[in-house]
Structure 1
Amino acid sequence: MSAHGQLMDGVYRWQRHIYDLTRKYYLLGRDGLIADLDPPAGASVLEIGCGTGRNLIAVGKAWPQAQLYGVDISDAMLDTARGAVAKAGMGARVTLARGDACGFDADALLGRATFDRVFVSYALSMIPDWEAALHQAAACVAPGGRLEIVDFGQQERLPGVWKRLLSGWLAQFHVTPRRELGHAIEAVARNMGGVAHVRALYRGYALRGGMMRV
C-alpha cells in the first residue's frame, strides 16, 4: 500500500463510522452535483474517491438504471462502502475497487476503461498529487460523457476569520483547498478538446467544475 493509502486508512479507520453524519454539515454542493449528473438509462457512473459509498448510493437511488462504480485508496473506507451498498440493496449494481486516484487501470479494476459520468466529490483537496488525479479522472470519461467535480473553494467572499478557522480545521484531516483547481479543470478540458465549466458556490466556500468530452 502507498504511503498516502496508509495515511488515509489511519485518518479514517475510526472516523468512517461517523463520517457521513458529520460531513453533511460542511461538504456542501455534493447533492447538487449528483442531481446534475443526469445519466442516460443504462449509463455507467464512476466516483473517484468514493469513501463510504454515500454518494454512489444517492446516485443509485436517483437513477435506478445506472451501473455504478467506485474507486478509493483506503481499505477502511471501502469496507464501510461495501457494507452500506449491501444494506441499500445495490450490491448487484455497484462495483468497488481499491485504486490510487492518481493512476489506476480502470479496465483491470472495474471491467471497463471509460464511463458516461465520472465525478469527484471533496477528494482532490486530500490528494497530494491532485493534478495527476484530475488528469486520471478526465481520461476515464467516455466520448460524449462528462466529468463533474465539487471541492473546497478559496472562501474569497467570506469573512477572513471564517477562512482561517476552516483552514485550521481542514488541516487536521490533511485537507488543502486547491487554489488552481478551476484553471486546471479548464486546461484539462482544452487539452482533451472538451468544454469546461467552473463556478464558485456559496460565496466561494465551494467550487463546482467539470467538462464535457466531445
Structure 2
Amino acid sequence: MSATELPASHAELMDGVYRWQRHIYNLTRKYYLLGRDRLVDGLDVPAGGTVLELGCGTGRNIILAARRYPDAHFFGLDISAEMLETASAAIAREGLSARVKLAKGDATDFNAGALFGRAAFDRVFVSYSLSMIPGWEKTVSAALAALSPGGSLHIVDFGQQEGLPGWFRSLLRGWLRKFHVAPRESLRDVLESESQRTGATFHFRTLYRGYAWLAIVKLGH
C-alpha cells in the first residue's frame, strides 16, 4: 500500500495529535508506557536477523532494540508523517541509519515487500500501538503474516488494570481517551484465536497488576 492510499482520516488524526507532542513524547510517556524495555529484551533476535516494528512512533523502541541487537537489521512502519520525521532524525543522530529503515504505512494493511524490499521478518513487535489503531485486530493478522517461519510476534500494551483500584482505572481511561487511546479488552482472546489459527505457540503475562499486558506469539518452523 502506498502512502497516497492510506486512510486519510486516521493518518491526519495521528499527525494532528502528534504534531507538537512528538517533541516531548519520549520524556512524558516513559512514566506510563510500562513494559517496553522488557519487550525489547525478550525479542532474542538471531544474529543477522530482521525486525519490524509496527507503529514505530518517535523511534524510541527501535533505537533501543538496534543498540541491544547490533547484528540485526530493523524496519519501522508508522501512519504518522510527523512521528516518522522525529524518528528519522533520532535514528540519524544515533548513527543507525544504515541498519534502520522507516516507511509510512497502515499497520492494518501493508505490503512489506513494496515498502522495505522484503516480505518476512524474524521478529515483529508492537508497543502501545494496538490501543490506538482502528481495526487493530487486522494489525495482529498482518503482523503474523509478515513473520518468517519460526519467527515471533511481541506485543505490549495497556491491560485492563484488573488488579488495580477502580478509581485508578477510571482516571487512566479518561486520560487516555484524550489521546484517542483505548485499552483492548479482547486482546488476549484475539491473540489466542490467531495462535490457534496459525498453529503458533502463545505466551501471555500481566505486568504491574494488570496495568500492562505482554504477549508473544511464536510460529513453528
Q: Normalized against structure 1, the TM-score is what?
A: 0.99
1:7-46, Cα deviation, whole Å (9 max, x unpaired): 0000000000000000000000000000000101000010
Shift of 1:199: 1.4
Alignment of 1:28-177 (within 5 A): 28-177=34-183
Match of 1:212, as an amino acid?
Answer: K
Q: Moved runs in structure 1, 4+ residues, more than 4 A?
A: none
Separation in structure 1 between the aligned mates of residue 148 and residue 216 of structure 2, nearest angstrom: 14
Partner SS, residue 14 of structure 2: helix
Separation in structure 2 between the aligned mates of residue 131 and residue 182 of structure 1, nearest angstrom: 11
Shift of 1:210: 2.2
1:55-112, Cα deviation, whole Å (9 max, x unpaired): 0100111111100000000000000000000000001000100000010000000111
Q: Is the CA contact 1:199–1:208 (under 8 Å) kept in the aligned structure 2?
A: yes
Separation in structure 1 between the aligned mates of residue 146 and residue 27 of structure 2, nearest angstrom: 30
What are structure 1's unaligned runs of at least 5 residues? Answer: none
How many residues are aligned here? 214
Match of 1:200, as an amino acid?
Answer: T
1:153-202, Cα deviation, whole Å (9 max, x unpaired): 00011000000000000000000000000111111111111111111111
Separation in structure 2 between the aligned mates of residue 210 and residue 136 of structure 1, nearest angstrom: 15
Separation in structure 1 between the aligned mates of residue 198 and residue 83 of structure 2, nearest angstrom: 32
Match of 2:137, as an amino acid?
Answer: E
C-alpha RMSD over aligned residues: 0.6
Question: Equivalent residue for 1:10?
Answer: 16
Match of 2:181, as an amino acid?
Answer: V
Question: Equivalent residue for 1:180?
Answer: 186
Q: Is the CA contact 1:69–1:110 (under 8 Å) kept in the aligned structure 2?
A: yes
Q: Percent identity?
A: 57
Partner SS, residue 3 of structure 1: helix
Separation in structure 1 between the aligned mates of residue 143 and residue 10 of structure 2, nearest angstrom: 18
Q: Does 1:208 align with 2:214?
A: yes
